[in-house]
Copies of this chain bind each other. A is one copy, B any other.
Amino acid sequence: MTLDSTPSRQSRSDAPEVVVARLPQYVRILARLLQDGTDVVSSQQLGARLQVTPAQIRKDLSYFGRFGKQGRGYSVPHLLDRLKQILGLNSTWNVAVVGVGRLGRAILSYPGFTPDGFRLVAAFDVSPDVVGQEVAGLTVQPIEQLDDEVRDRQISIAIVAVPTEHTQEVVDRLVECGIRAVLNYAPITPQVKEGIRVRNIDPVLSLQSMTYYLSEDL
């Protein structure tokens, strides 16, 4: 069970959430640098790539340890490995997709999750028309199978792409089954108990916050 109030070990959880949210971007750039054969990188160079100040990168990293060499910079393979370790990206995460409509199908067919450490291992839907179909190599299962599958296949992350009106109940159900992180595509923010992580993918909100600046000079 998750306990807090015991600062027994490392300075693990005192990194601001905003810092944690930036680490995956560092990982991504470092992976590219590694592929390009770059050995060493400075916070200056990293910052230029990411449109971030060098100071911010150094400060961010300092929450987790001391990874650089003064006068030289950071070893690309070493820093990459350490950051992946910190983020828990050195092992593969099994993911369930719930809702196999148009959007769910697109997600299941999207090749971008796998190379980054996520494996879509199960797909669920309520509709009898969809259950049993094969999509992207997976047989769509009835939602009743959720409990068993989550347990048997060690799934701790779910991608939810069901109609808005069913999203909250689906998320509730997932949490009951032991899911601890949800990536939600419906235009609401599902309510969850403490300790469960939710991220929303909401392109309409993104568009609507840009129109503010577009209307500026009309």
A209 to B24, CA, bound (A): 7
A20 to B16, CA, bound (A): 22
A206 at the interface (CB under 8 A from B): yes
Contacts of A201 in B (CB 8 A): 201, 203, 206
Interface size on A, residues (CB 8 A): 59
Q: How far is the CB of A23 from chain B (nearest CB, A)?
A: 7
A39 to B51, CA, bound (A): 45
Contact of A207 among B183, B187, B210, B215 (CB under 8 A): B183
Contacts of A187 in B (CB 8 A): 28, 112
Flag the segment in A68-76, A103-111, A137-145, A169-177 that touches B: A103-111
Contacts of A20 in B (CB 8 A): 209, 212-213
A189 at the interface (CB under 8 A from B): yes
30 cross-chain CB contacts under 8 A: A2-B217, A13-B216, A20-B212, A21-B205, A24-B204, A24-B205, A24-B208, A24-B209, A87-B208, A87-B211, A87-B212, A88-B211, A88-B218, A93-B207, A102-B106, A107-B203, A113-B204, A113-B207, A116-B204, A117-B211, A157-B211, A157-B214, A181-B210, A183-B203, A183-B206, A183-B210, A197-B210, A199-B209, A201-B201, A201-B206
